[in-house]
Amino acid sequence: MLAEIKGLNEECGVFAIWGHKDAAQITYYGLHSLQHRGQEGAGIVVTDGEQLSIHKGLGLVNEVFRPETFESLNGQGAVGHVRYATAGGGGYANVQPLLFRSQLGSLAIAHNGNLVNANNLKHQLESQGSIFQSTSDTEVLAHLIKRSGYAKASEQLKNSLSMLKGAYAFAVMTENELMVALDPNGLRPLSIGRLGDAYVVASETCAFDIIGAEYEREVEPGELVIINDDGLRSERFVSSSSSSRAICSMEYVYFARPDSNVDEINVHTARKSLGKQLAIEAPIEADVVTGVPDSSISAAIGYAEQSGIPYELGLIKNRYVGRTFIQPSQELREQGVKMKLSAVRKVVEGKRVVMIDDSIVRGTTSRRIVRMLREAGALEVHVRISSPPIKHPCFYGIDTSTKEELIAATRSIEEMRDEMGADSLAFLSVEGLVKGVGRSNEVSSCGQCLACFTGEYPTEIFPDTLHPHDKLLPV
């Protein structure tokens, strides 16, 4: 669903390229394909081998960049970023890539994720004289690099990364080198591809498709990849024994585009399998299955195939409605939802409808859509969710940082069903999620982060990242 309706957003998307004469233009197209990962700001930094040039701004990619923009963005290496503000909030200063200049050379950083020990590190760095120019947790890395004491950029970065805790996929560029790194748990997706002789790196493989690049491999947890004119080499900033994959399950459920492969698993295929598993776990007698556009369509198709109930387009998203301002009244907010999403009366009228959605965060959107289907004449509305209840906050770059905002944390399924006005409500089990994604049938060895469902976090969570009402299970 649209981020403005759903209220569930991820921090950002990263794209980088090295060894292409049109690096900035290629990055622009790559960012277009990652626009779903962040709509609040976009930026590109390019190197010509001697200096770094930047253009960034608030808004969508096609709002920030114009044809004339690229006249000043010349070079064969570039880093790009699309941002949704979570850690540090919004504002121009926090739009990435962040660019830092010094007498010893410049540095551009783009980051997907969230550092759970950022505040601790900021306190330490400020006590040593650092002055921060933004409120973004990403800036911490630049200060650590400049204070590392090592001569080589790769050694500076490795030393700095070893101090970070949390989720991070970094692209770091100097005048003559591109470096990319993934946290030891591999919480965020990051892939490497080739475009002719050039190397490309992206948060999702759909970015490779739009530019005609060939996928090569995933960046491994705890790996630092260094790309320059001599080629690509791999190093580690933590040992293989101390790193293990725990990729965010919500990439498969909601965030990633269906045409992307995340950790070599196709997202559409995974979502369709989740829908099939949901039909096995939560069957219902009904006349039609429909999915909430767009992220729930694949799961709805899977549910329909498994159950034998016909799939129909019972809900349509208006693709020509831009981002909306916060409306001053409940009545106008309701109208804003109707502008973006409409029920197809001839499909749902007089029918028992199974409405498939990928997740429920605060519950307000589900309530509005159920009401919309009823107003269009649906006899019954049965809500099925292709993920488990989200009961615990995420500290890794998704904007659900407190339990208070999560409806499943404070209400039973029956209470949620009653609040949204549905005839029935059921969620996929944690075991069903793991089985549906297909990496493993065992929850304990699935290679996914399940913290928002189970409360078991793959990293240490620092006290200053917690809301006073939140309690954690031991790591």
Catalytic residues: 12
Residue with tokens 């990293």: 459
170 neighbors 142 (Cβ within 8 angstroms):
no
Please state whether beta strands 448-449 and 424-427 pair in parallel, antiparallel, or not at all (unpaired). Answer: unpaired
Residue with tokens 């598993």: 277
What amino acid occupies position 269? T
Q: Is the peptide bond before 97 cis (omega within 30 degrees of 0)?
A: yes
